[in-house]
Every structure is written in structure tokens, then in C-alpha cells.
Structure 1
């Protein structure tokens, strides 16, 4: 029986070499170019520590990777230039041919570490690996790493270019992967799958989603940046201990958690005031940075020009967003002037003031219909003024549990898997900014800060402690 020709998603083209290609668009392209220019800058490693009763975990993960490839095919793709378009990069995907081909790929994609090394040591090892991976005579920009320890404190990580591994798409992929690992007996047999049909799940880019007409409108009309931005004044950052890294690509990384009871109180206080956790984090970082620069005077400007907004809100309702494993975000600049905050008032009042300012800026951006194309038209950093190179960069990943439940299986003696903690690491080779992430998982509000080693770990921890102390003032 002939296998039906799979539907090719919009924007993708089949080549004579039996490959599928699509130009990278928006943050896909931005992240890929940055990585090429700066020795893997922003390559991402994200995963979970876990405990399980599954006996052959490597075998279960290998088979699950085959199923994941049907869900998110780009895990087997490469990023390549093409001679006819020297100013563009392209996704290049080669379909699976058979069960044997798929399993060989999955085994080559999975690296098993039998070790007693810590999670941070493993993350450093993984992010120290330069992409692409060479898998079965082809390059790809994704790898999977399983950590097995004698103690049973295991871990599973995904590693790849940030052009692929935005946090939310990565978490959706983990959800499908864990489902296939734990409930493998409920999945169709690998013999029953239609290999090659996975190309119908290749991701559609933001221009196809929103429309080229709106992109042209964006090129014509431009964008309105935040009214808070003042090019006549410089901005402030967090001064490092040294200007140059002692070891290339070495990363300092520290974290802290807020216990479940305090987290619940924090979220309740925010709900009462009508603000989000993202706004609270943004405001706390801004106020902590201002405090660290108090010696410079009272007329200061904090600019966070890499404020991340997910573009998934613009995907059509009938599009399988949970399968979109590719970067889809924009970066916009936010600003807080110390002149707009009454520094004599209690810290809680300053937080409310700062969150109000930032919310107004967020809302103004989201009201612009052409916003999805701001970085395509105006560049990844659209603010033309001077920004302190050591300003903090922040992303709130959000409630991880809403994407990946911590408990899988376990009823009636069946296979089970428990996720303990989420772990995250970036490869930072050139950016002199401290990079902060926040998320909640298992009711704990978790913070992490990382940077190239122009900062000492103790200094980063002190700054993070200041940020957390500032945000907790909302409870006063």
C-alpha cells in the first residue's frame, strides 16, 4: 500500500535531496545568528531531576525520542545557510525512513551519563559542548542527556540552540517525552507509525501565522517605544568585579527558592493588588539595580531592553501550539526612571509604583497590532539609545507545573516517574549582563542568576538576595 504524501506546512519546501527547508524567521533567526557569531551564545540546557522505578530508563527514553520526533520534528533538524540566500539561515529537516532509521537516530541523539557529578557540573559539561551534534552522518542542533546516578537521583536534559529551545516549547516537548516514557505500553507500536509523515508537524513561522500584509504595515508604520525611555540619559547596570572573563564560556550560576507557604502568600498579595508575578519580578530587579547604583545620584534610568514577550498569543486557535518547538518571542525595551518613583516611601509602595509603570509600558506594546514584527523590522534591540552593558536580563518562565506535571504514572504498581526540580543553564560567551530566570514548580518560587565569570558567585548571590528581599516587600 502506498503511503500518502504528507501535508507540508506553510513556508516549508521539499527539495530534490529529499529534505524539507524553511527560512528562519524572527527570533529563530536572531538566536541562530547570535550563536554563529558568538561561539554558541545563548545555547540552552534545560531539564529535570527525577526519580523513577522504570528499569530500563535509557531504552524508554530512546523509544520516547522517536515518538517525540513525530510531535516536534525539528529536534532532528539542522540550521544551515544556502548559497542563493547568503543573508538568511534555514531550517533543514530530513524525514525518518523507517523504524530502524528512527531508532538509530534516537540512540545517537541520547547521551547517557553514568556519574556522581552534580547537576551543575553536568549542565556545565553540556553547555560546554559546541553545537551542532553530528548524528548519523548529519548535523543537528539538539541533543538529549540522561544522567544516571547510583543514588537514584537521576536527571534528563535537553540541549540545543535557543533558536529551538525557548522555555515554553521545551516544556511542552518534555511533557510529551515523559508521557511516552511512562505510558509507553499505551502508545501505538513503533511498527505502526508512518515514518516520514512527521513532516506535517514542522512548525509554521510567525509571518505565516499573522500574515505578510501586517509585516509590510510594520515596515511602513514602525513602532512606538516606551515613553519612559530617555535617550538624553544613560542607563544603569550591575557593575562586575572585572571587565574580562578569566575563562572563555565559563559560567557562574547561583539560585534561591522561596518556600511554598511564602509563595502562596506572595501570589495572593499580587492577586489582591491586581499585578502579575512577572511585573513583580521586573519591578524588584529594577529597584535592586537602582539601589546598587544609589551612589551615582538620584536621576537614574533603568532600562531593560531585552524584555521577552512570547508570540504564542498570536498563533491561530486551530494551530497545535503545544507542538511548536521553535523560538517564537520578541524583545522590547522597558524603562524605569528614579524620578518617577518616590524613594522616600516604604519599599512596598515603591514596588506598587514600579509595577504600575511597567504594566503601562507592557500594555502600550501589546496594543500595537504590528508588535510581532518589532525585532524583524527594528532589530533584536530596537531602542537606539545607550544602554548599560551590565544591565540585568530577565525572563519569567512561569508556572512549570502547568506545562509539565511533577508526577507521572504510579497507580497500581505501574511505571512511575517523579520530577523533583527543574534545572536550567545557558552558554554565555560574550554578554556581560547577569541573566535572571524565575519560575514556580511544585509550589516553590525559584530564582536563578547566571553570568560569564566577570562576576563572582558570591556577588551574584548577594544581588539575587537583594532582588528577592525587594519582591517580598509586597507582603509587608
Structure 2
């Protein structure tokens, strides 16, 4: 039987505050929430929702959304969401400082709040240069949903006559809450037994490999200050970027394949002495991230579906397929990139691909952390930001008008609480 058949939808539930709506966390929502519960324990609601343990499973959390009673309540909530800092700050310093803080925030009325927006003037920058930051949980803020949230904010900021809050039908907005990944991508596919089960079995065998992946081992094997990150920034200029993209595209690959291959080579270089036979050694990324945005179908293919929506599937290479430091050249790097690309292509051509992570979460809910190597790493490639969000915003999107504001840079940060280097 297909494990993603009959995916749960939002259902009414009664709470002290009045009628509410709930559904279980699904797919990557559950994966990211449980990951942070293992290591940090923060809650992850959808914008103005909360999470509650035990509604659908005694050990897993579910979304819980209480509809707004009116524009006044929404305005009060928004006033606490947006924080304008008095002192100028440097963006990277702000990110490092902010991710040390555990979510959720607690409002003046005692309710929890997950999403917060910060606005501040940038240190040492031109007059009128500001930073706008979103702080929230990964089970909402994948790369694409985060950029969609920014899009909504920028769109509102550039509107000359935004609709007043009183014009919305508060109390019925719960109907716009995001559905799960199966419903959003068109429902279960046929032939689960023929194509879905073999894919799940292959994924399971990779994740259950008794030989731990090789990895970069950190200098310290304990987390000293939980949440504190070490940020290293490397920027390629326009010419360098163009050359990298040119050669990557010529190889038929993407920057994701390039970064993953390069890190595999670095991992091999940092592991000159193996503890297992070379034929058994491997480098495996347990989580190869792929957005599900392009698989959504109407009416769910809109920016308003703001929730974690990705496939997180293993990508691997045998040790003997990874060039040694003395063997690294363009041809060897390209060959490894293409081997990694073939794995992504194999996933993507499977008609059940959009539902594989959701199926894994249903078949084997992540009640406990399972990772034979706690230092196993992952590569994240957001993509071409300019293709997802404009950098110039004019009033009412009128090309004849001067820009209201322009976007010049972007900073991203994660709260890291595990041993992943």
C-alpha cells in the first residue's frame, strides 16, 4: 500500500482560545522539526500558528492554527512581529548574534511567536542602506518559502495603496494554510509497488550502510556554545563566477554538483588513513536537498504556500571513485560531478520523487536521531536568487517610476546545534 495515500488535511479542533485547525507535520516539515528537537528543542509554527505534541502522535508534533478574530488582533500581532533596532549593525554580526537565540519568541500576551522581522541601518554603509531580516524555523523557512515571504513584504512595501486589514475576511484565512507535499504535488502516483518501493529500498540501504561515511572531523567533538556559528565568507567576482558557471554548464552539471564533488575531494584529502578497506569506504551526504516547488499543481503552485517543501535524499560516492589530492584536475572533478548528477537524475525521473521524503517520514518517523557519523555534512545551494525575487522594486511594479528600493546583498544563517562541522 502506498504510505502517502490519504495524506492528512487540516481538521477542526477545539482549544480554550476557541476553534482551531490542525494537521500533522508532513515530509520535510517533520524531518526538519524533529532534527531541531533532537538538538535544540524549539517549536516551529506556520507564521502565526504553533506546534503541539500529541494531537496525532504521542511523540510527534502537529500544526495548530487559531484563526484571527479580526483586524485589531492581526495588527497587534504584526506590531510585535516587526522589530526596528535603534543602533546600526553589520549584517553578518547580526546573523551570528540572532541564531544563538532559541525560538520561540513569547509575546506580551504569553502566546508564542516563531517568525520575527528585524529592520536596522547597516554599519559603515551609504546613507539610507538598511537590512531586513527574517528569523524563523527551518520547517517553514526553506530557501524558496523564505524568499516568497520576502517577496510578499517587498510587494507590500512598494504598493501605493495596500488593502486595509479590515477588508479581509478574518476567521476564514485558515483555508489558505499550506497543504502537505502529496496533495500540493497532485496526489499519489500510480505503480507505487513497481517504482516507489524500489526507490525507498535503495534509499534505505544507503542510509543504513553499516560503514559510516567519511567526513571532515571537527577539532572539538563537543559543542561548546550551543547555537554559535563560525561564518566564513568567500566571494567570487563577476568574471570568476562567469567562468565557474560556464565550465559547470559545459559539463552538463549545476553548482550543486560542483560543490558536492569539491567537498568530497576535500573530505578524502582530510582522511589519508582509512579504518576500513578502500572498497568499503564512501562519502555520503545523508541529505541531498531538492525543492519541490516546481512539482506543485494548481491551486497550490503559488507563493502563498509558505512551508518547508523539499526532498531530502542521500547522495553518495564510493571512496575509489573520488580522486585523490594528487589526481585532482578538471577532468577528474567533472567525472565526479557527473556521477553525482546521475543520482539526482535517477531520483528526479521517478514519478514518485515528490513523495519519497513524505513516504519515508510515514514509514519510519524520525522519533530518534539515527546517524552512524554525527559529522556527516550537507551542501545547500539556494539557486539563482535573481530568478526568484527581483532586485529592483518600483511603485506598483510600474516600470515608468523610479525604484522605491533596490536589493544589494543577501545573508543567510542557520542555528547549528549538532556536531555537523
| TM-score category of the 2 structures, normalised to the smaller one | 0.7 to 0.9
Query: With structure 2 as the length reference, what TM-score do the two structures score?
Result: 0.82
**Does the 8 A contact of 2:54 with 2:62 survive in 1?**
yes
Cα distance, 1:296 vs. partner? 4.0
Match of 1:112 among 64, 71, 84: 84
- State the match for 2:171 in structure 1: 196
The answer to whether the Cα contact below 8 Å between 2:105 and 2:114 also exists between their aligned partners in 1 is yes
Q: Is the counterpart of residue 287 in structure 1 residue 265 in structure 2? A: yes
Check conservation: 1:215, 1:373, Cα contact below 8 A. Answer: no
Larger helix proportion of the pair: 1
Q: Aligned partners of 2:165, 2:155: CA distance in 1, in Å? A: 15
Equivalent position to 2:394, from 389, 397, 409: 409
For structure 2, list consecutive stretches of 5 or more residues without a partner in the other structure: 1-6
Task: Go from structure 1 to structure 2 and tell me whether the alpha carbon gap of 1:12 and 1:83 turns closer, same or farther (over 3 Å shift).
Answer: closer
- 1:101-137 per-residue CA deviation (whole Å, 9 max, x = no partner) reads 2211100111221223322332233222222222344
The 3 A distance-change label for structure 1 pair 83 and 331 is: closer
Cα distance in 2 between the residues matched to 1:81 and 1:161: 17
How has the CA–CA distance of structure 1 residues 192 and 41 changed in structure 2, closer, same or farther, with 3 Å as cutoff? Answer: closer
Aligned with residue 146 of structure 1, among 113, 119, 139? 119
Q: How does 1:26-37 map to 2 (within 5 A)?
A: 26-37=27-38
- Structure-1 separation of matches of 2:201 and 2:347: 9
The correspondence for 2:216, drawn from 238, 252, 271, is 238
- Paired residue for 2:4? none
Q: What's 2:415 paired with?
A: 427
Say if 1:228 and 1:336, in contact at 8 Å, map to a contact too.
Answer: no
The answer for the alignment partner of 1:79 in structure 2 is 51
- Whether contact under 8 Å (1:235, 1:303) holds in the other structure is yes
Q: Counterpart of 1:14?
A: 12
Residue in structure 1 matched with residue 3 of structure 2 by the alignment: none
Give, in angstroms, the shift of residue 246 of structure 1. Answer: 2.5
- 1:161 correspondence with 2:137: yes
Q: 1:373 aligns with which of 346, 356, 370?
A: 356
Distance 2:210 2:181 in 1: 34
Give 3-state SS (helix, strand or coil) of 1:245's partner: coil
Q: How many residues align?
A: 393
Partner SS state of residue 33, structure 1: helix
**1:271 corresponding residue in structure 2:** 249
- The correspondence for 2:286, drawn from 275, 288, 305, is 305
CA distance in 2, matches of 1:132, 1:357: 41
Cα RMSD after superposing both structures:
3.3
Aligned partners of 1:310 and 1:362: how far apart in 2? 12
Q: Equivalents in 1 of 2:220, 2:244: separation in Å?
A: 36
Distance 1:333 1:399 in 2: 23
Q: Distance in 2 between matches of 1:347 and 1:337?
A: 18
Aligned partners of 2:370 and 2:29: how far apart in 1? Answer: 25
Q: Identify if the C-alpha distance between structure 1 residues 39 and 226 changes in structure 2 by more than 3 Å, giving closer, same or farther.
A: closer
CA distance in 1 between partners of 2:206 and 2:139 (Å): 30
Change (3 A) 1:78 1:356: same
**More displaced, 228-237 or 399-408?**
228-237
Cα distance change, pair 286–149 in 1 and its aligned pair in 2 (3 A) = closer
Distance 1:368 1:149, change over 3 A: closer
Secondary structure of the residue aligned to 2:225 is coil
**Mapping of residues 206-285 of structure 1, within 5 Å:** 206-209=181-184, 210-211=186-187, 222-225=200-203, 231=209, 233-285=211-263
SS in 1 for 2:269: helix
Matches within 5 A, 1:87-98: 87-98=59-70
Which residue, out of 147, 153, 163, partners 1:171? 147
Moved more, 270-279 or 308-317: 308-317
Contact 1:99–1:195 under 8 Å retained in 2? yes
Query: How big is each residue's C-alpha offset from its partner over 1:116-160, in whole Å with a ceiling of 9 and x where there is no partner?
Result: 332233223322222222234422322111123575432111111
**What's the offset of the Cα at 1:206?**
1.5
| Secondary structure of residue in 2 paired with 1:393 | coil
User: 2:88, 2:120 within 8 Å by CA — same for their partners in 1?
Assistant: no
Q: State whether residues 132 and 141 of structure 1, in contact with CA within 8 Å, keep that contact through their aligned partners in structure 2.
A: yes
User: How much has 1:253 moved relative to structure 2?
Assistant: 1.4
- Aligned residue for 2:182, secondary structure, equals helix
**Residue correspondence of structure 1 range 382-393 to structure 2 within 5 A:** 387-393=372-378
Contact 1:406 1:420 in 2 (8 A): yes
The Cα shift of 1:414 comes to 5.5
- Taking the aligned partners of 2:227 and 2:164, their CA distance within structure 1 comes to 43
